[in-house]
Structure 1
Amino acid sequence: MRAVVLDRPGGVEELHLRTLPLPEPRPGWVRIAVEAFGLNRSELHTRLGLAEGVSFPRVLGIEAVGTVDLDPDGVLAPGGRVATMMGGMGRTYDGGYAEYVVVPRAQVIPFESSLPWETLGALPETLQTAYGSLTVGLDLQAGQTLLIRGGTSALGLTATTLAKDVGATVLATTRNPDRLTGLTEHGVDHPLVDDGRVARQVREVFPDGVDAGLELVGTPTLPDTLAATRVHGTVCFTGMLSNEWLVHDFYPISYLPRGVRLAAYGGEADDLPAAVFQRHVDRIASGDLAPGPVHVYALDDIRTAHDDLEHNRRPGKLVVRTR
C-alpha cells in the first residue's frame, strides 16, 4: 500500500510517500481501506515536533473514512462504510495517511451514505470535537449567545452549524475581512474581524457579554475571549490554531474575569455517538446542512496540503483522497 511516512519532525520535505506492506489486523482490530482522510492541527503539531508520545518513523493521521477490508473476528462485514479517529492513530501506531489503516474495532463508527468520499472525509474528527465542545464543554442551550474564536476553521464552521441547530445566536471571528461574507453565508449572525480586541466588539452588540465562548485560536486570544463572556458564562478551550496552548505563570484571580468559567474539551471516537454522526451525514445529503468549504488533494500532493494547513491558506477542511 501507499502511505505517507514521517521519519522525523521537520518541514513538509520530511513527509515521504512510500510503499509499505499491507498491515495485518490482530484480534479486536479492523483493517480499513481508506478512501479519504482529513488534515488536522494535531498532525501539524506532530510534524513540527510539538507533539508528545510519538515514535518515528510514523504514518500520520488521526482520522479516516473508508470501507471495512478485514475484520478477523467477523464482527464487521467487508465493504461496510466506516469512520475512525483518535485512539493513538498517527502517534502510537500508524494512522490514516495511507491506503489502508488498522485500528481497534472500538473506535470504528459504521454508517450509511452515498455522499462523496471527500465530503465524508471532512467530518469525523471535526464533528466529534465540535459536538463535544458544545455539549460537554459548554452545555450550549437554545437562546444563548456563542462566540467562536477562529470561525473560518473547519472546526469553527462545524461548530456554527451545530450551534445554529441548537437555536443559539452565533458570533464568529476571522482575521481576514474578505472572509466575513463566507461566515454570514454559513449562518453566522455576527461575523467579526479579529483585531485582537474582540471583547470590545462583542460588548457593543451584547453589553453583558456572550453566554459562551469557543476558543479555537489558543492562549494568545484566550484572555480576550474570556473578557467577552458574561458573569457565569463559560469559555471552552478546544483549539490552538496559533500553535500556542500554554498559559505561563497562571494566576487564576488575575487571569480569569470575575465569575467567568473556563473549561476545556478533547475527545475520542466514542464521544461521538454513531447516531449523531449518521444524522449529520443524512442532513448534509438532504441539503438541510451545509458541510462548509472542503479543499481536496491527491495523496501525491500531501506536502502541498500540509503547507496550506500550516499557513492557514484555505478556510474550512482540507481533505486528501487516497484513490
Structure 2
Amino acid sequence: MTQLSTQEDAPSTSGWQFWIDRGGTFTDLVAHRPDGSLVTHKLLSENPRQYPDAAIQGIRDLLGVAAGEELPAEVIEAVKMGTTVATNALLERQGEPTLLAVTRGFGDALRIGYQTRPDLFTLDIELPEMLYSEVLEIDERIGARGELVTPLDPARAREGLQDAYDRGLRTLAILFMHGYRYPDHELQVAALAREIGYTQISVSSRVSPLMKLVSRGDTTVVDAYLSPILRRYIDRVEGELQGMKESGGRLMFMQSNGGLTDAHTFQGKDAILSGPAGGVVGMVRTAEAAGFERLIGFDMGGTSTDVSHYAGEYERAFETEVAGVRLRAPMMQIHTVAAGGGSILQFDGSRYRVGP
C-alpha cells in the first residue's frame, strides 16, 4: 500500500470514498479519506485462497479491517468502480444460458446477420458462437406502420415460455419485428415471462429502441446474457456494503460510454468496456490538469493493452463488435490488443508467439 501526498485542493468529506479499477489481472484502488488525503492500493483480481473478491478485500485493507471482521460500511460515502466482470464473461462465453423469443420466421435472423465478409477470399469461414442457447419463434407480427399482421396468441406464447423454463432456462431476450416502434407485443410476452418466473427479461424496445432487427436483437441478447452475471456480482458487493447503503452511501459503476451509473441501473450491454472507459476518462482529466489537450492513451494491464485517442472531445462508437458479438450501444472508441504486462514471448523454433 502506497501513501500519496495530501492534495491541497481535495476537500474533506464526511466519509471514505473508494475509486476502484477491477482489471483482469490486478485491482487498483484509490481511497479518498475523510480528511482529504489520498491513498492507493493494488492486489490481484483473482486470489481465491486469500479472499473472495478483490474490490472488497482492497477496501478492507485500506480501512484496516481484518478477515472475518464486519466491514464498517457506514463510514463509506461512495464506491465507484470500473469492472471487467462482463468483459471476461463475454470473452470466455461464461454468460447466462439465454432463450431468444422472436417473431415467427425470423429465428435465424441473428445467425444470418448482415452477410458481411471481413476476409473476402477466405473459404473456410468460422461463424462466431451465438450467445443464446435456444430460440422460441412466436406467432405475432406488427407491420412497419403499426398495422396488425398476425395477432399475438398469449396461450401459445406462454406454453413455449413455460416449456423452456421447465428445461432450466431463466434468462429471456425478446425481439419482435418493429418492436422498437410498436412494443405492445414485446411487453405482453415480457409480462407472461415474469408470471412464469424468468429472473432476467431483456426487451428490445427498452434495451435498444432503434430500427434494424439484427443490431437491436444482438444488443438485447448481450444484455440478457451478461446482466445476470453483473447482478450477482453487484449483489455480492452490496451485501458487504449494506451499512453504506443504509447510511446514504452510493455504489456506482463505470459504463462503456465513460459515465457513471447507479448499481441498480447497470446493464450488461453498457458494461463491456467498463474498465477501459474509466482509463480514458482518467487520462483526459490528468492530461488537462497538466495543460495537454491532444492525447494518445496507452493503457497496458496484465492481460491486455488499450489504446485510445483524444483531441478535445471523447471519441465514441455507437455500433461495434466485441469478441465476435455485434453491439449497438455508446462506447468509448478504444482499440484493444490481447497482450499485456503478463504476456509471455516464446520462440517455438520457427516463429515468435505471444501468450498465453
TM-score by length of 2: 0.29
TM-score by length of 1: 0.31
Structure ranking higher on relative contact order (CA contacts 8 Å, 6+ apart): 1
Whichever of the two has the greater Rg, that structure is 2
